[in-house]
Amino acid sequence: MELQARILVCLMVLFCAIAASDVVRAGSIGFCYGRNADNLPAPQVVAQLLQKEGITKVRIYDYNTSVIQAFAGTNIEVIITIPNEELSNFQTEAPADQWVNNFVAPLYQSVRITVISVGVEVPILHPDSAALVLPAMQNVHTGLTKANLSDQIKVSTAHSMAILKTSFPPSSSTFNDSLATTFVGPILDFLKATGSFYMVNAYPYHAYMSESDSIALDYALFDPKDVVVDPNTNLSYHGLLMAQVDAVYFAMEAMGHGELSVMVSETGWPRAGDADEAVANVQNAATYNNNLLRLVLNNTGTPHRTGNPLDAYIFSIFDEDKKPGKSSEQHWGVFDTTGNTFYYLDLTDADQGNGSSPQSFNGTGSTWCVANPSASNQSLQVGLNYACGKGNADCGPIQRGQPCFIPDSYVNHASYAYNSYYQRSGDNPAACDFGGTAIITSENPSYGSCVFPADSVGYLASINGKSSSWRIIPCNIMGRCLFLLTFLLSML
């Protein structure tokens, strides 16, 4: 018996090691904390909000001490930034060493600073300062090395997609000729030498707005009617962001750096805009960010790098009313200043890791299960029999004389029965199948006096204690492992 128990323990240890390695490789979602606004909550309140919602990564655009200290003891990973206008202060080792010793090292004792971004989109926003980026990166890294922090804190710089000469097809992507040798190449060499990664700010919204004649909106939102195929590789793309990320991968490979990984340091979709920005709306913002969450947290990777789960940062936590430019620039926020979201974010599928396909969202979180119009009457009858029988669906409203009997069709009756079963199953996507005859929709199928019920899952919690549907951690694998190990050890 003792030998059997020891064998079981060994097997469990092996299982837990494999499970743990899978968790480490998982993609992750963070949020960008832009603060160009005059009505934002205090940083301590923001930190509490992120903790309450299970958000474990945040990116800020400077190194403001009071903001960073708000995350002390929270276990939230923080990306800090050396602003473009300060790059000239880091051109020699001495000031960089002083900054690391006097600022970074003391904060690191209580705050999980993981990345220092040296500038943001410098060649595009401040081309005259492009030559300052690499020396600043090198000096900051040297300072971290002297402080024994270079293994814990990586140094990188955030790039715009505009740094690419071409991005489609992804396999033909290259960096701009004027930057490839003088700017990009040396930075890629530095990232490889220091074990860091490439940061890219990728916005399908901006790509669509500038090329709406050649980019389909549903493709930009991860929900295309037709996939886009790279003619050189035959790789299929179901979302523009994934094609953008692969374009970066191919461009780096063309320069001999296929070993580097890519972090999407900014992405998102605005929820409002000017009259000529009609696609900046709540429904599209909800669709884009929900589908992004599914793809990242289900470890989908990209078509070219399926083995590389993606890390992505959604822009932004809040709206920024002081940002210049078009109205959309001020409306990228997901949360309002009280801690509620402007639209629903559904992490249920990502939690379960069931790989459900992207879909459209209406911004409220309500979904319905209806019959597929192309299904045969015979197969719909089978589904009806199950839903109204063993499925315990409420099929009273589709009986003769009741509000949902007309139209008297298999599709209509099956839709109501399917939806009843689906809603009673807690909106579980697995409950909307019925042999492939059912589909999930965000369009309310109710008509006249026939009301299809919907369990609209509540908005994300605010810090005043409302229930939350935000769950970043897919499952507590290690917790289950420890429980099983404890149980087995008790048998020895």
Q: Find how far residue 279's CA is from the centre of its chain.
A: 20
Active-site position among 53, 121, 320, 329 = 121
Strands of 310-391 (E only): list them: 311-315, 368-371
Separation between Cα atoms, residue 468 and residue 335, nearest integer Å = 13
Give catalytic status of residue 121 as yes or no.
yes
Separation between Cα atoms, residue 263 and residue 238, nearest integer Å = 19
Give catalytic status of residue 86 as yes or no.
no
Q: Assign 304 to helix, strand or coil.
A: coil
- Crossing angle between the packed helical segments 185-194 and 133-146, to the nearest 10 degrees: 10
Spell 222-261 as b/e; 16+ CB within 10 A means b: bbbeeebebeeeebebbbbbbbbbbbbbbbbeebebeebe
The answer to whether 419 and 389 are in contact (CB under 8 A) is no
- Who contacts 380 (Cβ-Cβ below 8 Å, separation ≥6)? 371, 410, 411, 414, 437
Active-site position among 266, 320, 329, 443 = 266
Nearest 5°: the CA angle 221, 205, 59 is 100
Separation between Cα atoms, residue 181 and residue 175, nearest integer Å = 9
Show which residues are catalytic: 121, 266
